[in-house]
Amino acid sequence: MRLRKVKGALDYLKEKEGLVITNLNDLLSNYFKDNKPIHLEIGCGKGQFILNMAKTYPDIGFIALEKYDSVLLRAIKKYEDSEEKPTNLIFILGDFNDIYDYLPRNKINTIYLNFSDPWPKNRQAKRRLTHVNFLNKYKNLLVKDGLIIQKTDNLELFNFSLEQYEEANLSVIDVSLDLHKTNIFNIMTEYEEKKSLLGPIYYAKVKV
């Protein structure tokens, strides 16, 4: 599906200082200055998952990363329309590869990969967020015994990811081929609400 560009999205986001990080140096100097656990969602989409996680776990700091300004705009508006506006949540507009050097090593407790782009062609494999090249970067960011939690509706991507976890010497500690038929705690994304009506959601919890 083609992404619909929203006119003025970038200017809108730049006005949300304190909620949307535009100066990446602030990420190091401000957000990581205390010892609270940090959770990062790579590709937050319209923001439902990360917003509800922040409400559920007020003692955890959440970072929502999204590379498309038109998509992040919707996440910010969802936050602003929410009756409860958690203060333990910040948003970053950018690509993971661009912000990687700004993130401190061995500080993040959990990384969420929710319904990442499957990049289905073989030549696109290195662009998948569970490719071993990305996994090795995550390992540098995560604390000892830190977690990667993946959800997807794409079985091919899921099988590929399981192979990559093994190649990266990560421990898969929980797997489900139909998440919604388990008692695993789960907060759904907007995409998940629709796709779970059409087929199973695949889930993996991986430990560094």
- Decide: 42 and 93 in contact? Cβ < 8 Å: no
Residues 138, 71 share a domain: no
pLDDT at 52 exceeding the cut of 70: yes
Give DSSP secondary structure letters for 2-16: PPPPPTTHHHHHHT-
- Annotated catalytic residue, options 98, 117, 174, 178: 117
Residues 94-119 have pLDDT tens digits of: 999 999 998 889 999 999 999 999 99
> In the prediction, which pLDDT does 151 show?
98
3-state secondary structure of 90: strand
**Average of per-residue pLDDT across 174-180:** 98
Residues 112, 99 share a domain: no
Q: In this structure, is residue 206 part of a structural domain?
A: yes
Q: Which tokens go with 54?
A: 């922040």
pLDDT at 158 exceeding the cut of 70: yes
DSSP 104: P
Q: Which residues contact 152 (CB under 8 A, 6 or more apart)?
A: 113, 115, 116, 118, 158, 161, 201, 202
> In the prediction, which pLDDT does 35 show?
80
* 27 or 184, greater pLDDT: 184
Residues 61-103 have pLDDT tens digits of: 999 999 999 999 999 999 999 999 999 999 999 999 999 998 8
**Residue 10's domain spans which residues?**
1-30+48-104
Q: CA separation (Å) from 70 to 20, 37, 65, 92?
A: 14, 29, 13, 13
Residues 144, 61 share a domain: no
Residues 206, 125 share a domain: yes
Band of pLDDT at residue 31, cut at 50, 70 and 90: confident
CATH code: domain of residue 69: 3.40.50.150
Known catalytic residue at 34: no
Q: In this structure, is residue 37 part of a structural domain?
A: no
Band of pLDDT at residue 29, cut at 50, 70 and 90: low
